[in-house]
Amino acid sequence: MALSKELFDAILNGDAKRAHAATETALAEGAEPMQLIADSMVPAMDEVGKLFEAEEYFVPELLLAGRAMKSAMELIKPLLVASGQKMAVRVIIGTVKGDLHDIGKNIVASMLEGSGFEVIDLGADVSPEAFVAAVKERQPHIVCMSALLTVTMPAMKTTIDALSKAGVRTQVKVLLGGAPVTSQYAKEIGADGYSENANGAVGLVKSLLAVA
């Protein structure tokens, strides 16, 4: 049973308690954590986005849906993380400056952790300077950036430029993601890779670093 209609409805209606309970039930019934994300949670957020575009939902509804998504992730994240064995690969991840969307970034972070990578999550609204400081201090192999707004996408380029200026760009591979980002854009601004989802992010890290 992949799709939990109850979880989908709970997120769509911004009901965090119901989302938590629906997740518990679905997991107890044997649903795979990743499939719950792909078949119930992400489609629910897509629907929320459509309702926002149609001006049936407004920012408060987006916030409530985001909270419902997070309360479901509280149960799912430990399961994703537990499935991995630690590898000597360090990843820094953050949502770029000016952008507060962190749900997708959090899923990517959990999936990477679940695949055994060490993940340092800088949070949302991360300035280029903060990315540079973290790279210097933590010496990661990979830097992942997320952006959900077309107006914050340029901060990805500013961050890559800041990494170059600080002399650390060649030490790391830079991966991009987030709904408005494309592989074309990633190429244009000099990133090393792009993926449209969290599974792809794991594959990209593995292929870029040639780990099994």
Q: Can you give the binding site for ligand B12, defined by CB under 6 A?
A: 42, 45-46, 48-49, 52-53, 59, 62-63, 65-66, 98-105, 107-108, 144-146, 148-150, 175-180, 195-198, 201
* Cα separation, 170 vs 120, whole angstroms: 19
Which of 31/108 has CB closer to ligand B12? 108
174 Cβ contact partners less than 8 Å away, ≥ 6 residues apart: 142, 143, 144, 145, 160, 163, 190, 191, 192, 193
How far apart are CB 48 and ligand B12 at their closest, in Å? 4
Q: Which is nearer to ligand B12, 28 or 66 (CB)?
A: 66
Judge whether 3 and 40 are in contact, CB under 8 Å: yes
Task: Output the smallest distance, CB 61 to ligand B12, in A.
Answer: 8
Closest CA to 24 of 87, 94, 72, 89: 72
Identify which of residues 28 and 110 has a Cβ nearer to ligand B12 in the complex.
110
Beta carbon nearer to ligand B12, 28 or 55 = 55
Output the smallest distance, CB 27 to ligand B12, in A: 18
Six-digit token string for 183: 């592989």
**Least Å from the CB of residue 191 to ligand B12:** 9
Residue 149 CB, nearest approach to ligand B12 (Å): 4
Asked whether the beta carbons of 169 and 200 are under 8 A apart, the reply is no
> Pairing mode, if any, of strands 142-146 and 118-121?
unpaired
Measured from the CB atom, the residue of 132 and 193 that comes closer to ligand B12 is 193
Rg of the chain's alpha carbons, rounded to an integer? 17
